[in-house]
A = this chain, B = another copy of it.
Amino acid sequence: MAKKKPADPANGSAPAARQVPMREFSRSLPMSLLRAREAVMRQFRPSLRQNGLTEQQWRILRALAAIDAVEVTELARTAFLLGPSLSRILRDLEARHLIERKTAKEDQRRSMVSISEKGVKLMAVVAPTSEAIYAEITRRFGARKLTELQEMLGELEQCLSGLGSVDEAIAEE
Protein backbone atom coordinates (compact mmCIF):
# COMPACT_ATOMS: atom_id res chain seq x y z
CA MET A 1 0.00 0.00 0.00
CA ALA A 2 2.35 2.61 -1.21
CA LYS A 3 -0.14 4.60 -3.20
CA LYS A 4 -1.05 8.04 -2.06
CA LYS A 5 -4.48 9.45 -2.34
CA PRO A 6 -4.07 12.29 -4.78
CA ALA A 7 -6.76 14.49 -3.38
CA ASP A 8 -7.47 15.93 0.02
CA PRO A 9 -6.75 19.51 -0.93
CA ALA A 10 -6.08 21.00 2.47
CA ASN A 11 -7.87 18.93 5.01
CA GLY A 12 -8.68 21.92 7.16
CA SER A 13 -10.62 24.25 4.97
CA ALA A 14 -11.80 22.31 1.94
CA PRO A 15 -13.31 23.75 -1.22
CA ALA A 16 -16.47 24.57 0.69
CA ALA A 17 -19.03 23.38 -1.76
CA ARG A 18 -22.39 24.44 -0.47
CA GLN A 19 -21.37 26.07 2.73
CA VAL A 20 -23.91 26.71 5.42
CA PRO A 21 -22.42 29.20 7.85
CA MET A 22 -21.37 27.31 10.95
CA ARG A 23 -18.44 26.86 13.21
CA GLU A 24 -15.90 24.52 11.91
CA PHE A 25 -17.21 21.15 12.81
CA SER A 26 -14.17 19.56 14.35
CA ARG A 27 -13.78 22.38 16.85
CA SER A 28 -17.20 22.14 18.40
CA LEU A 29 -17.33 21.51 22.09
CA PRO A 30 -19.29 18.25 21.85
CA MET A 31 -16.70 16.88 19.45
CA SER A 32 -13.82 17.93 21.67
CA LEU A 33 -15.41 16.23 24.63
CA LEU A 34 -16.24 13.13 22.64
CA ARG A 35 -12.75 12.74 21.26
CA ALA A 36 -11.11 13.36 24.60
CA ARG A 37 -13.28 10.84 26.31
CA GLU A 38 -12.71 8.28 23.63
CA ALA A 39 -8.96 8.78 23.88
CA VAL A 40 -9.18 8.05 27.58
CA MET A 41 -11.53 5.10 27.35
CA ARG A 42 -9.47 3.51 24.63
CA GLN A 43 -6.86 2.99 27.32
CA PHE A 44 -9.18 1.17 29.67
CA ARG A 45 -11.33 -0.91 27.39
CA PRO A 46 -8.83 -3.69 26.58
CA SER A 47 -8.19 -4.46 30.21
CA LEU A 48 -11.88 -4.44 31.04
CA ARG A 49 -12.67 -6.57 28.07
CA GLN A 50 -10.10 -9.13 29.11
CA ASN A 51 -12.07 -9.53 32.29
CA GLY A 52 -15.38 -9.81 30.52
CA LEU A 53 -16.60 -6.38 31.51
CA THR A 54 -17.89 -3.49 29.50
CA GLU A 55 -17.31 0.08 30.48
CA GLN A 56 -20.80 0.41 31.89
CA GLN A 57 -20.70 -2.84 33.80
CA TRP A 58 -17.48 -1.68 35.39
CA ARG A 59 -19.10 1.63 36.31
CA ILE A 60 -21.85 -0.22 38.10
CA LEU A 61 -19.49 -2.46 40.03
CA ARG A 62 -17.43 0.53 41.08
CA ALA A 63 -20.50 2.38 42.19
CA LEU A 64 -21.63 -0.61 44.21
CA ALA A 65 -18.24 -1.26 45.78
CA ALA A 66 -18.44 1.87 47.88
CA ILE A 67 -21.78 1.15 49.50
CA ASP A 68 -23.75 -1.59 51.09
CA ALA A 69 -26.85 -1.49 48.92
CA VAL A 70 -28.73 1.01 46.77
CA GLU A 71 -32.00 1.29 44.99
CA VAL A 72 -31.90 1.12 41.24
CA THR A 73 -32.82 4.75 40.70
CA GLU A 74 -30.04 5.96 42.94
CA LEU A 75 -27.60 3.63 41.22
CA ALA A 76 -28.63 4.99 37.86
CA ARG A 77 -27.74 8.47 39.05
CA THR A 78 -24.41 7.38 40.49
CA ALA A 79 -23.31 5.32 37.52
CA PHE A 80 -24.77 7.89 35.13
CA LEU A 81 -26.86 5.40 33.24
CA LEU A 82 -30.43 5.65 32.05
CA GLY A 83 -33.00 3.41 33.65
CA PRO A 84 -33.50 1.07 30.73
CA SER A 85 -29.78 0.53 30.23
CA LEU A 86 -29.28 -0.12 33.89
CA SER A 87 -32.20 -2.50 33.99
CA ARG A 88 -30.71 -4.64 31.24
CA ILE A 89 -27.22 -4.60 32.66
CA LEU A 90 -28.40 -5.54 36.14
CA ARG A 91 -30.27 -8.48 34.69
CA ASP A 92 -27.04 -9.63 33.09
CA LEU A 93 -24.82 -8.99 36.11
CA GLU A 94 -27.26 -10.82 38.34
CA ALA A 95 -27.27 -13.80 36.00
CA ARG A 96 -23.48 -13.82 36.28
CA HIS A 97 -23.77 -13.61 40.06
CA LEU A 98 -21.71 -10.44 40.21
CA ILE A 99 -24.48 -8.58 42.00
CA GLU A 100 -27.44 -9.42 44.21
CA ARG A 101 -30.92 -8.01 44.35
CA LYS A 102 -33.72 -8.09 46.83
CA THR A 103 -36.88 -6.07 47.00
CA ALA A 104 -37.11 -3.62 49.87
CA LYS A 105 -39.40 -4.67 52.68
CA GLU A 106 -40.98 -1.32 53.30
CA ASP A 107 -41.64 -0.56 49.64
CA GLN A 108 -42.19 -3.46 47.31
CA ARG A 109 -41.52 -1.26 44.31
CA ARG A 110 -37.94 -0.64 45.28
CA SER A 111 -35.19 -3.12 44.56
CA MET A 112 -32.00 -2.99 46.60
CA VAL A 113 -28.85 -3.83 44.67
CA SER A 114 -25.52 -4.85 46.13
CA ILE A 115 -22.27 -6.31 44.88
CA SER A 116 -21.69 -10.00 45.54
CA GLU A 117 -18.60 -11.73 46.85
CA LYS A 118 -17.81 -12.83 43.34
CA GLY A 119 -18.20 -9.24 42.22
CA VAL A 120 -15.78 -8.05 44.87
CA LYS A 121 -13.26 -10.62 43.80
CA LEU A 122 -13.54 -9.57 40.18
CA MET A 123 -12.99 -5.97 41.18
CA ALA A 124 -9.90 -6.97 43.08
CA VAL A 125 -8.55 -8.45 39.87
CA VAL A 126 -9.38 -5.50 37.64
CA ALA A 127 -8.71 -2.58 39.96
CA PRO A 128 -4.90 -2.71 40.03
CA THR A 129 -4.54 -2.54 36.26
CA SER A 130 -7.21 0.10 36.07
CA GLU A 131 -5.47 2.21 38.66
CA ALA A 132 -2.16 1.76 36.94
CA ILE A 133 -3.60 2.99 33.68
CA TYR A 134 -5.11 5.96 35.41
CA ALA A 135 -1.79 6.72 37.03
CA GLU A 136 -0.05 6.58 33.68
CA ILE A 137 -2.58 8.96 32.17
CA THR A 138 -2.09 11.30 35.07
CA ARG A 139 1.64 11.15 34.63
CA ARG A 140 1.48 11.89 30.94
CA PHE A 141 -0.97 14.73 31.17
CA GLY A 142 0.22 16.15 34.44
CA ALA A 143 -1.51 15.82 37.76
CA ARG A 144 -2.08 19.51 38.23
CA LYS A 145 -3.41 19.98 34.75
CA LEU A 146 -5.69 17.03 35.23
CA THR A 147 -7.19 18.55 38.34
CA GLU A 148 -7.63 21.82 36.52
CA LEU A 149 -9.35 20.10 33.63
CA GLN A 150 -11.74 18.30 35.93
CA GLU A 151 -12.61 21.53 37.64
CA MET A 152 -13.46 23.16 34.36
CA LEU A 153 -15.56 20.20 33.34
CA GLY A 154 -17.41 20.45 36.61
CA GLU A 155 -18.05 24.12 36.09
CA LEU A 156 -19.30 23.53 32.59
CA GLU A 157 -21.68 20.91 33.85
CA GLN A 158 -22.75 23.26 36.59
CA CYS A 159 -23.50 26.24 34.41
CA LEU A 160 -25.61 24.16 32.06
CA SER A 161 -27.51 22.20 34.66
CA GLY A 162 -29.37 24.99 36.37
CA LEU A 163 -32.76 26.19 35.36
CA GLY A 164 -34.26 24.90 32.17
CA SER A 165 -32.53 24.30 28.92
CA VAL A 166 -30.61 26.78 26.89
CA ASP A 167 -33.22 26.23 24.26
CA GLU A 168 -35.89 27.83 26.38
CA ALA A 169 -33.76 30.85 27.14
CA ILE A 170 -33.36 31.34 23.42
CA ALA A 171 -37.01 30.89 22.59
CA GLU A 172 -37.74 33.77 24.96
CA GLU A 173 -36.65 36.51 22.66
Alpha-carbon distance A157/B133, docked complex (angstroms): 15
Contact A127 B21 (CB under 8 A): yes
Q: Is A129 an interface residue (CB 8 A)?
A: yes
Contact B22 A136 (CB under 8 A): no
Chain B residue nearest in CB terms to A65: B20
Q: State the interface size on chain A (CB cutoff 8 A).
A: 86
A150 cross-chain contacts in B, Cβ below 8 A: 27, 29, 32
Contact A132 B2 (CB under 8 A): yes
The minimal Cβ–Cβ distance linking A27 to chain B, given in whole angstroms, is 7
Contact B120 A20 (CB under 8 A): yes
Q: Is A115 an interface residue (CB 8 A)?
A: yes
Contact B166 A156 (CB under 8 A): no
Contact B39 A37 (CB under 8 A): no
Contact B43 A166 (CB under 8 A): yes
Q: Is A123 an interface residue (CB 8 A)?
A: yes
